């Protein structure tokens, strides 16, 4: 290995608000990690009794999808989707409308999944029902397809449309809504 050049990502700038699309993609990675945690939790409870570790995992999933995920969707609804609906081609605009519907459907799916996770996190439940697990699977499947559409089609199209000023406004808004320092 010659130097550090063989290490993927080595020396790359940290993802932050100044690179809003990279920030959105980093959110997608966190969504996927959180959904993987949920899947591990379900598997764990198939072989183990509910314990503090399981309750903490449920709490971690709740925290991400209650706090961070809604901000991510709002970022898209405010900054990514509008220019594509106004200036994108018909196929991209149709996909954006589908993604907007996905946000509403995923919110409903989250509410169904959330109830079981909240009960487990609070010690009111010690296992998930088949219905709970089906709600989790529905939620995870919807998110996976949603992320692919955004990363494969919508984000590249939006990047092509948005100039430096729009990206700067997007970054500033994302930062402010999260209470981050400028």
Average pLDDT over residues 13-25: 82
Report the alpha-carbon distance of residue 177 to residue 119 in Å, rounded: 29
What's the whole-model pTM score?
A: 0.87
Average pLDDT over residues 121-132: 97
Report the alpha-carbon distance of residue 24 to residue 29 in Å, rounded: 9
pLDDT bin (cut points 50, 70, 90) of residue 17 is: confident
Burial of 62 (0-12, 13-18, 19+ CB in 10 A): buried
Residue given tokens 């092509």 in the structure block? 160
Report the alpha-carbon distance of residue 82 to residue 155 in Å, rounded: 12
Q: How far is CA 71 from CA 113, 120, 128, in A?
A: 19, 25, 28
Average pLDDT over residues 88-98: 95
Q: Answer whether residue 22 shows pLDDT above 60.
A: yes
Q: Answer whether residue 11 shows pLDDT above 70.
A: no
Report the alpha-carbon distance of residue 78 to residue 173 in Å, rounded: 9
Q: What is the mean pLDDT of the chain?
A: 90
Query: 17 near 23, Cβ under 8 Å?
Result: yes
């Amino acid at each position: 290995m010659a130097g550090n050049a063989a290490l993927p990502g080595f020396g790359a700038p940290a993802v932050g608000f100044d690179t809003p699309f990279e920030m959105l993609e980093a959110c997608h990675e966190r969504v996927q990690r959180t959904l993987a945690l949920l899947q591990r939790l379900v598997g764990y409870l198939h072989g183990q009794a509910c314990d503090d570790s399981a309750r903490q995992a449920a709490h971690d999933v709740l925290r991400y999808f209650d706090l961070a995920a809604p901000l991510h969707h709002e970022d898209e609804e405010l900054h990514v989707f509008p220019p594509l609906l106004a200036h994108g081609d018909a196929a991209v605009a149709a996909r954006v409308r589908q993604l907007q519907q996905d946000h509403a459907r995923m919110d409903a799916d989250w509410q169904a999944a959330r109830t079981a996770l909240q009960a487990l996190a609070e010690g009111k439940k010690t296992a998930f029902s088949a219905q709970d697990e089906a709600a989790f699977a529905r939620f995870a499947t919807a998110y996976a397809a949603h992320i692919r559409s955004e990363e494969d089609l919508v984000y590249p199209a939006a990047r092509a449309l948005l100039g430096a000023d729009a990206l700067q406004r997007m970054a500033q808004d994302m930062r402010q809504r999260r209470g981050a320092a400028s």
